[in-house]
Amino acid sequence: MDPLATRPDDENSRLLHRLRTRRRVPDPQTVAFLEQAQESAGGRRTTREMPDAGTVRAMYPNRTEAEIAEMSRYFAELDSAIRPPTRYEGRHHRQVQVYAAQLDEAVARHGRWPAADNPPLFATTESGHGTAAAIRVPHTGDHLVLVDSELLQFLFLFSKAVALAVPAGTPTPDGILRFATEPEEIRANLRRDPQILFRFHDVVLSYAMTGSASRAEAYRVPPATERLYGIVMQSAQTFVLAHEYAHVLEGHLDDGDPGGEHLAPPQWPLPLEGVADRFGFELTLEVMKKAGYDLYFTYWGIELFLSANEILLKAISLLRTGDEHGLRHDERHRQAGFDARRRSLETMLRTDLERASGKATVEAEWDRIGSGLHVVRDIVHILWGETEPLLRKAHADGSRPAVWWDSGG
Ligand SMILES: [Zn+2]
């Protein structure tokens, strides 16, 4: 599902309006800094064409001709509303601008709009390192939120494989989709359809071995799966950007060193990560609610992002040495960070719920709430359990991680 394609008209026009207000001309020094950063991260000058009807039809094989026509018209309108910040924008850059506009709205609704005429400039890089970072530009003091397009691609394909593992139930008469998410149902589904594990394995292995998630094979999924992964992916990708936006809004970049001169993500201390996660979570929840999705879907996407990163590091470790102890110090540190963030998000949410409904109520209900929240984490756990032996075998057969995972850090 494309989150854009199901918005009612007035929502669409509000979003287009937000996108246009984002089209302010950025400071030339900021643009020069950004272009240099993108170029040194391996970006190439590109002109990216908007998809024509044929491409849209191939992307959304389940849509009717009328829907395809409507989507093509909307894409064209979107294109006229978006100005790429530079000529080096990579894959997914339009989607990033859409997320930025949605986050602006959420920030405004939170009353946290510090400089309405100068929100952070969102841009993509093609470093392939799968990171996102907030940066303060030297001299101009503008803020950038840079996201690697491979990270978005990885989250897209990872969401798709996870959604494929979930058997779809029969929709209710009013069209609400139901999914079977019990571990036993997931396992039975994996036994029934070997394609699921293959897809999961393919995206993890492609990214770990080539440094490019885009190398994984493209494939089509049934409509219910398309809808589920669209929701989870939207939450995951929105959270990546919302977290960085939160670093900016919380003033984490404002002290001391006037901002990174290079693209490596700053290693924030965990307490600051916690602050950015908390605010990032609230912004993501706001965006998702507006699109019609509840807390659970939002949480699924955030856990998907954190789990996907942990899985990637585990895969690199297994390919490098054949066991889980193959990570460098900085990689181990990152992995522990993702794990800690996952745990503290749960604690945060539980504390919030206790404050709202009382400790005893939450205590009594926690098993049910907890298993609902952790659906995606638990599916990823099952998928990883089946994938791990394959990676050990791949190592034994001579497969290794992409060279540049070894040179990074
Ligand atoms: Zn952070």
* Chain segment 226-251, per-residue pLDDT in tens: 999 999 999 999 999 999 999 999 98
Give distance in angstroms: CA of 327 to centre of ligand 1.
21
Higher pLDDT, residue 393 or 1: 393
Give distance in angstroms: CA of 243 to centre of ligand 1.
6
Asked if the model's pLDDT at residue 257 lies above 90, the reply is no
Give distance in angstroms: CA of 279 to centre of ligand 1.
11
Give distance in angstroms: CA of 379 to centre of ligand 1.
25
pLDDT digits (tens, 9 = 90+) for 125-172: 887 778 899 999 988 889 999 999 999 999 999 999 999 999 887 667
Asked if the model's pLDDT at residue 3 lies above 50, the reply is no
What is the rounded average pLDDT for all residues in the chain? Answer: 86
pLDDT digits (tens, 9 = 90+) for 60-69: 777 888 988 8
Phi, psi dihedrals of residue 196, rounded to the nearest 5°: -60, -50
Phi, psi dihedrals of residue 275, rounded to the nearest 5°: -65, -45
82: its two tokens: 């978006």
Give distance in angstroms: CA of 169 to centre of ligand 1.
37
**Helices 295-321, 195-210: inter-axial angle, 10-degree rounding:** 60
Higher pLDDT, residue 315 or 63: 315
The percent of residues in the chain predicted with pLDDT above 70, rounded, is 90
Give distance in angstroms: CA of 61 to centre of ligand 1.
37
With cut-offs at 50, 70 and 90, classify the pLDDT of residue 48: low
Question: Among all chains, which residue has been given the structure tokens 């024509």?
Answer: 52
Own/partner contacts of 215-221, CB < 8 Å, gap of 24 or more, are: 216/157, 220/61, 221/160, 221/163, 221/164
Contact 145, 249 (CB under 8 A): no
Residue type for 398, please? G
Give distance in angstroms: CA of 80 to centre of ligand 1.
32
What would the mean pLDDT of 280-302 be, rounded to a whole number?
94
d(CA 311, CA 289): 28
What b-and-e string marks burial along 96-121, b requiring 16 or more CB atoms within 10 Å of the CB? Answer: bbbbbbbbbbbbeeeeeeeeeeebbb
Give distance in angstroms: CA of 263 to centre of ligand 1.
14
For the ranges 63-77, 254-268, 273-287, the one whose mean pLDDT is highest = 273-287
Quickly count: other Cβ atoms within 10 Å of residue 169's Cβ: 13
Give distance in angstroms: CA of 202 to centre of ligand 1.
28
Contact 92, 152 (CB under 8 A): yes
Higher pLDDT, residue 170 or 3: 170
262: its two tokens: 């290079």
- Output the pLDDT for position 387: 95
Give distance in angstroms: CA of 225 to centre of ligand 1.
30
Q: Are strands 143-148 and 132-136 parallel, antiparallel or unpaired?
A: antiparallel
Give distance in angstroms: CA of 269 to centre of ligand 1.
9
Q: Is 61 exposed, middle or buried (0-12, 13-18, 19+ CB in 10 A)?
A: exposed
Give distance in angstroms: CA of 7 to centre of ligand 1.
30
- Output the pLDDT for position 366: 93
Give distance in angstroms: CA of 247 to centre of ligand 1.
7
Give distance in angstroms: CA of 276 to centre of ligand 1.
6
Asked if the model's pLDDT at residue 37 lies above 50, the reply is yes
Helices assigned H by DSSP within 62-216: 65-81, 93-109, 149-164, 183-192, 195-210
Give distance in angstroms: CA of 83 to centre of ligand 1.
26
For the ranges 47-51, 53-57, 97-101, 258-262, the one whose mean pLDDT is highest = 97-101
Give distance in angstroms: CA of 238 to centre of ligand 1.
14
What would the mean pLDDT of 88-112 be, rounded to a whole number?
87
Give distance in angstroms: CA of 128 to centre of ligand 1.
18
What would the mean pLDDT of 3-24 be, rounded to a whole number?
66
Please provide the distance, in angstroms rounded to a whole number, between the alpha carbons at the two ends of the chain.
Answer: 35
Give distance in angstroms: CA of 354 to centre of ligand 1.
26
CA atoms within a 13 Å half-sphere pointing along the CA-CB vector of 184: 0
Give distance in angstroms: CA of 230 to centre of ligand 1.
24
What b-and-e string marks burial along 126-160, b requiring 16 or more CB atoms within 10 Å of the CB? Answer: bbbbbbbbbbbbeebebbbbbbbbbbbbbbbbbbb
Give distance in angstroms: CA of 176 to centre of ligand 1.
35
What would the mean pLDDT of 114-119 be, rounded to a whole number?
65
Phi, psi dihedrals of residue 134, rounded to the nearest 5°: -100, 140
Asked if the model's pLDDT at residue 116 lies above 60, the reply is no
For the ranges 47-56, 212-221, 389-398, the one whose mean pLDDT is highest = 389-398
Give distance in angstroms: CA of 168 to centre of ligand 1.
35
Q: Report the run of H or E that residue 55 belongs to, with start and end.
A: helix 53-59
Contact 231, 175 (CB under 8 A): no
Give distance in angstroms: CA of 389 to centre of ligand 1.
32
126: its two tokens: 């093609």
Give distance in angstroms: CA of 130 to centre of ligand 1.
14
Q: Is 172 exposed, middle or buried (0-12, 13-18, 19+ CB in 10 A)?
A: exposed
Asked if the model's pLDDT at residue 25 lies above 80, the reply is no
pTM for the full predicted model: 0.89
Asked if the model's pLDDT at residue 182 lies above 50, the reply is yes
DSSP classification of residue 258: -
DSSP classification of residue 27: P
- Output the pLDDT for position 255: 65
d(CA 296, CA 93): 27
With cut-offs at 50, 70 and 90, classify the pLDDT of residue 298: very high
Give distance in angstroms: CA of 223 to centre of ligand 1.
34
Give distance in angstroms: CA of 273 to centre of ligand 1.
5
Contacts of 132 (CB under 8 A, 6+ apart): 145, 146, 147, 148, 151, 240, 241, 243, 244, 265
- Output the pLDDT for position 168: 81
Give distance in angstroms: CA of 393 to centre of ligand 1.
34
d(CA 74, CA 132): 28
